[in-house]
Chain A
């Protein structure tokens, strides 16, 4: 997959059609902690948006509100034209269109790799089994796990498991992919293989929102980078400006700590 690295960053064009629109989102945890203090953000179709920030800044919580894994108390979030409400049907409709990759992979350990990938297409999209398996095999080939299709997740390495998790999300053919620190739980030598898959994915023009600490990935693939801190969105910028010439002091401080 090295061919992706030689190309110019963000080769695809970004449209102005919004896919996710978050307006003044505020959230309190059950213990009263004010984790999101009015965050507004728009994700446009086809762009790769990287969210950075120190731990506890609310970045994971924020992207988890996009598919209603976390409820929010104030503001509004619109995904693909549907406003997230408490209506279960409406939430399920949004989740069908939003894929999510977790830090801890969260593969289903009692199902084989292939069953993990075909489960949602069969039960949610109601595809026939043969079609779901065909699509799943193509996806597994794309993430380089084809030979492991009939193994169980517990028999794979962390990097392989995360690549299966990406394939599992893609099988639903989502409009947006959310990545919640996809490489943070991996051994260092496995980070690369997962990032390579994500780079490849970015080239296909799918909309991606990534919470990550991988500066190299953000520099190279992102169309926009945002910094969150203390429940606020601090800075929103192009990757070039963000890393070499940030507007905010807070960003500078954050970068000096991680670079």
Chain B
């Protein structure tokens, strides 16, 4: 073995050479003539595309269609004199979101770091400057304040009462029913027919309901498919394989046509309810397979260790197996939720005026003939915003649950 003199090795980690932007570009983008050519070509293609898009957006596009129909996009034909109820729902969501943020971040040194403040400022600026939201900035700016205020309050509450987390979860659960009441009326409020639910509100309502319903169902199906009881296993497998073999559109039509057939005459469930049930039943089959993948990834030794300590089967499942399986399956489960959110666009086929359906009916209006690009681009941005928010949330949850380091 060769001996190493002390001064020939340095225990310090070598500094990564910090390159200036010019030197970095020279090293990575223009190292030889071929790389230079590739760089110029690719930058040229993308630059041209972006230039054309911006040029179109600023000169050719006629964005009037968006602000003129903003109410329709957001809430369909919901009566405008009752818009306060929709604002109330938004206020509840913003308040709870702020509180949850504050409670979750109670141990972080500062909630409002520079980046967060910049983000909040950008949202406010957007609300004031974006033409469709400008008329409502008096309602929207307090919502931002509500999130920030909720966060500050949640932090204080979270520090004083560490067990407040489950009350926040319960509040979210209850807020769903409050929102349902505010949307549909009854119990002292003017009734609004579900025919008048529409736009983003309907999209979010069906998506949230679908997700909330399909999760427990998918979990049960996954456990059923791994059950030791042959009948349970067979039924779960049959359900999963049957549903996965049918396209969602067919499933939605069946939901609209067939669910009433199985019920007594006269009791026709609401068509939004039928659509939500069909959506949830459909997604549950896919979710079950994601959860099953997670269950299979938990080592057998975990179950053996739990059982050898005397834990019974339900406790083993609830405390040892499922927490680990669901953690492994989070990316796949959230992927399924994102698909479900996007699948709500198919509800327009069965005649529900969700966000895409509203877009289509606005485009059918002769006054906005040919405004396809503007409307669909606007809708795409909305869908992207919600899907990206979900995937961001899943990444945060994964980081929080990581116990490896």
- Chain A contact residues, CB within 8 Å of chain B: 67, 69, 88, 92, 95-96, 98-100, 102, 104, 106-110, 119-120, 123-124, 152-155, 165, 168-169, 172
Contacts and interface: CB of A to CB of B under 8 A. Distances in A.
A95 B307 contact: yes
Contacts of A154: 403-405
Interface of B is mostly: helix
A145 to B, nearest CB: 17
Contacts of B324: 108-110
A176 to B, nearest CB: 12
Nearest 9 pairs between A and B by C-beta? A106-B305, A120-B309, A106-B301, A152-B403, A96-B310, A100-B308, A124-B310, A95-B310, A154-B404
A123 B320 contact: no
Interface string B367-385: 0000000000000000000
Contacts of A108: 302, 305-306, 320, 324
Given A67-B308, A106-B301, A119 B319 contact: yes
Interface of B: 299, 301-302, 304-312, 315, 319-320, 323-324, 327, 401, 403-405
A69 B308 contact: yes
Nearest to B300: A106
A169 B310 CA distance: 10
B310 A110 contact: no
A104, A107, A123, A154, most chain B CB atoms within 10 A: A123
A100 B304 CA distance: 10
Contacts of A124: 309-311
Contact of A106 (B304, B310, B311, B319): B304
Nearest to A168: B309
Contact of A110 (B311, B312, B403): B403
A88, A110, A165, most chain B CB atoms within 10 A: A110
Contacts of A109: 324, 403-404
A95 B308 CA distance: 5
Contacts of A98: 308
Contacts of B305: 100, 102, 106-108, 165
Contacts of B311: 119-120, 123-124
A110 B309 contact: no
A165 B324 CA distance: 18
A69 B307 contact: yes
